[in-house]
């Protein structure tokens, strides 16, 4: 990982953020892209958007749920691909501020989340599906494109000028246009002039065909050469050379509110967070608040369960470094911080024992974070065996054991790579140690 400036350290340490997809589309209960996916009548959609007047939106309530879940930052959709703005924009009347609601939801969000101690992120869709020039592109409608692009730039400037310190901007919807067409490089310069410490994601342009990142990116335009952090979506894959954050839904695959949806269990959501941390990245976990402006109850329940776990076990997550030191997947996952290795145990067996193979560094002390109790252990060259653990799972979600080591935890040579990776020949002596007894003719092979 390349060095990051001090003022970005908060992002590397945070590990857990709140994604919020909320807009006029929430009224349809069919995800955030219902306008396109259902090929809705544009005029009907506009009238419904303009009439949208959520009565139960209380940004302080949202901030409270997100903070208690253990999240350290949030990202709100200030405008999605439908173009309807959640703030008081001087450049359009198509906003909650100028229409029925008469409120600047972005201002309310910023104020409440900042007061709750969370860092502030703003999602902004470059795409605006109402604008023909967006679909036509600059080759077919140069003047329209120019006007549209200017509108986009002015709005971003506005968001970075009127709401105090903004920590992060999360672009999306660059497809089908490249960073050059969007004027992304100039936009970034302006953004840094307005907010020198801002973090900008990697979706400011569809990579040009023929470049290395064109193949790796998605339609959303995940660029390799542009962006302070990567945004793997629906998957948790480490990026090298820059920070990254996996964005994930708490439901199935839509981001906006969807009526009748199934919810992922808390244990799965937590596992995604732990997986991201174990690989050195963040989890940006989404909620799609309902049309009236409330987080769905199913989400609140899960957020609370995760928050309780984070209170006791958060030290294994916040500020952690990539932690897959040894092979441990048959028991759970690992994170690492300084001289500590955290074992986040998924399978809590009836034996009262947990074993870790291949740790070279000596362990000085082991503590079960879930109860605060010290744990007895035995360490050989090959294994650390923790014993006398409670038979009953000591926490509803994953128990965590902190191994305090003599130095930064490291694996011995054979354990540096995972199964199906590394040099296979490192395992030859181990295989050879079996002896010959199973062969009928008794000969060594
Ligand atoms: C994709 C979706 C978009 C969503 C985003 C969040 O780009 O198309 O609707 O907002 O992912 O990562």
pLDDT digits (tens, 9 = 90+) for 91-103: 999 999 999 999 9
Ligand 1 binding pocket includes 167 (Cβ within 6 Å)? no
pTM: 0.95
Q: Residue-wise over 75-87: b if at least 16 C-beta within 10 A, else e?
A: bbbbbbbbbbbbb
- Compute the distance from residue 286 Cα to the ligand 1 centre, in Å: 11
- Compute the distance from residue 357 Cα to the ligand 1 centre, in Å: 40
Ligand 1 binding pocket includes 254 (Cβ within 6 Å)? no
What are the residue ranges of CATH 3.20.20.80 in the chain? 6-316
Using the predicted structure, report yes or no on whether residue 219 has a pLDDT greater than 60: no
Ligand 1 binding pocket includes 233 (Cβ within 6 Å)? yes
User: Which pLDDT belongs to residue 13?
Assistant: 98
SS3 403: strand
Q: Which DSSP helix (H) or strand (E) runs through 172? A: strand 168-172
Percent of the chain clearing pLDDT 90 (strictly above)? 91
- Compute the distance from residue 367 Cα to the ligand 1 centre, in Å: 41
Helix, strand and coil content of the chain, in percent to the nearest 5, comes to 30, 20, 50
pLDDT bucket at 434, cuts 50 / 70 / 90: confident
Q: Ligand 1: which of 255, 258, 283 to mutate, judged by most atoms within 8 Å of the beta carbon?
A: 255
The secondary structure of 4-35 as a DSSP string is: --GGGHHHHHH-EEEEE--SGGGGGTB-TTHH
351 to each of 285, 357, 383, 388, 398, how far by Cα in Å? 34, 17, 17, 9, 16
User: Which pLDDT belongs to residue 208?
Assistant: 65
Using the predicted structure, report yes or no on whether residue 318 has a pLDDT greater than 90: yes
User: Which pLDDT belongs to residue 215?
Assistant: 45
* Ligand 1: residue whose CA is nearest its atom 1: 220
Ligand 1 binding pocket includes 247 (Cβ within 6 Å)? yes
Task: Find the length of the chain.
Answer: 445
- Compute the distance from residue 256 Cα to the ligand 1 centre, in Å: 9
User: Which pLDDT belongs to residue 224?
Assistant: 77
Q: Ligand 1: which of 84, 173, 203, 247 to mutate, judged by most atoms within 8 Å of the beta carbon?
A: 173
**Which region, left, alpha or beta, applies to residue 59 given φ > 0 means left and ψ of -120 to 50 means alpha?**
alpha
Fold category of 323-420 in CATH: Immunoglobulin-like (2.60.40)
Backbone angles phi, psi at 334, to 5 degrees: -130, 145
- Compute the distance from residue 269 Cα to the ligand 1 centre, in Å: 18
Using the predicted structure, report yes or no on whether residue 7 has a pLDDT greater than 80: yes
Ligand 1 binding pocket includes 128 (Cβ within 6 Å)? no
Ligand 1 binding pocket includes 82 (Cβ within 6 Å)? no
Q: 23-79: per-residue pLDDT in tens?
A: 999 999 999 999 999 999 999 999 999 999 999 999 999 999 999 999 999 999 999
- Nearest ligand 1 atom to alpha carbon 21: 10
- Compute the distance from residue 67 Cα to the ligand 1 centre, in Å: 23
- Compute the distance from residue 110 Cα to the ligand 1 centre, in Å: 21
Whether 367 and 375 have beta carbons less than 8 Å apart is answered as yes
* Ligand 1: residue whose CA is nearest its atom 4: 255
User: Which pLDDT belongs to residue 217?
Assistant: 47
Ligand 1 binding pocket includes 220 (Cβ within 6 Å)? yes
Q: Which DSSP helix (H) or strand (E) runs through 269? A: helix 266-278
- Nearest ligand 1 atom to alpha carbon 254: 9
Ligand 1 binding pocket includes 33 (Cβ within 6 Å)? yes
Q: 132-175: per-residue pLDDT in tens?
A: 999 999 999 999 999 999 999 999 999 999 999 999 999 999 99
- Nearest ligand 1 atom to alpha carbon 231: 12
What are the residue ranges of CATH 2.60.40.1180 in the chain? 323-420
Backbone angles phi, psi at 440, to 5 degrees: -60, -40
From CA 422, how far away is CA 327, in angstroms rounded?
13
Q: Ligand 1: which of 33, 74, 220, 254 to mutate, judged by most atoms within 8 Å of the beta carbon?
A: 220
- Compute the distance from residue 141 Cα to the ligand 1 centre, in Å: 26
Using the predicted structure, report yes or no on whether residue 437 has a pLDDT greater than 50: yes
Class of domain 6-316: alpha beta
């Amino acid at each position: 990982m390349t060095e990051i400036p001090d003022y970005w350290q908060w992002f590397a340490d945070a590990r857990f953020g709140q994604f919020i997809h909320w807009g006029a589309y929430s009224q349809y209960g069919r995800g955030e892209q219902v306008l396109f996916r259902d090929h809705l009548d544009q005029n009907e959609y506009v009238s419904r958007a303009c009439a949208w007047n959520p009565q139960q939106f209380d940004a302080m309530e949202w901030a409270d749920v997100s903070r208690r879940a253990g999240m350290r930052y949030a990202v709100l959709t200030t405008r999605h691909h439908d173009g309807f703005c959640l703030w008081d924009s001087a450049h359009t009347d198509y906003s909650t501020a100028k229409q029925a609601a008469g409120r600047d939801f972005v201002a309310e969000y910023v104020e409440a989340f900042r007061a709750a101690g969370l860092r502030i992120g703003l999602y902004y869709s470059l795409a605006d599906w109402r604008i023909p020039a967006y679909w036509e592109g600059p080759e077919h409608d140069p003047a329209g494109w120019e006007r549209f692009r200017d509108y986009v730039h002015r709005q971003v400037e506005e968001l970075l000028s009127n709401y105090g310190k903004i920590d992060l901007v999360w672009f999306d919807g660059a497809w089908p246009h490249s960073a050059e067409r969007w004027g992304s490089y100039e936009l970034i310069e302006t953004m840094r002039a307005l907010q020198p410490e801002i973090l900008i994601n990697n979706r400011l342009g569809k990579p040009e065909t023929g470049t290395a990142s064109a193949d790796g990116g998605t339609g959303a335009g995940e660029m390799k050469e542009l962006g302070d952090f990567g945004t793997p979506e629906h998957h948790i894959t480490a990026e090298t050379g820059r920070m990254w954050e996996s964005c994930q839904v708490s439901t199935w695959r839509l981001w906006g509110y969807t009526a009748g949806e199934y919810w992922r269990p808390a244990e799965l959501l937590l596992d995604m967070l732990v997986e991201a941390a174990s690989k050195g990245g963040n989890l940006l976990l989404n909620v799609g608040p309902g049309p009236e402006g409330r987080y769905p109850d199913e989400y609140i329940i899960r957020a609370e369960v995760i928050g309780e776990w984070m209170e006791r076990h958060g030290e294994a997550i916040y500020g952690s470094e990539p932690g897959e030191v040894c092979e441990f997947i048959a028991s759970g996952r690992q994170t690492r911080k300084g001289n500590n290795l955290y074992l986040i145990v998924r399978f809590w067996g009836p034996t009262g024992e947990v074993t870790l193979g291949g740790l070279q560094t000596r362990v000085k002390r082991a503590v079960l974070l879930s109860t605060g109790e010290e744990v007895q252990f035995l360490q050989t060259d090959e294994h650390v065996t923790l014993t006398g653990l409670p038979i009953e799972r000591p926490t509803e979600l994953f128990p965590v054991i902190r191994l305090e080591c003599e130095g930064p935890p490291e694996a011995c040579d054979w354990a540096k790579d995972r199964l199906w990776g590394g040099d296979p020949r490192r395992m030859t002596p181990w295989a050879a140690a079996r002896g010959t007894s199973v062969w009928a003719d008794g000969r060594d092979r």
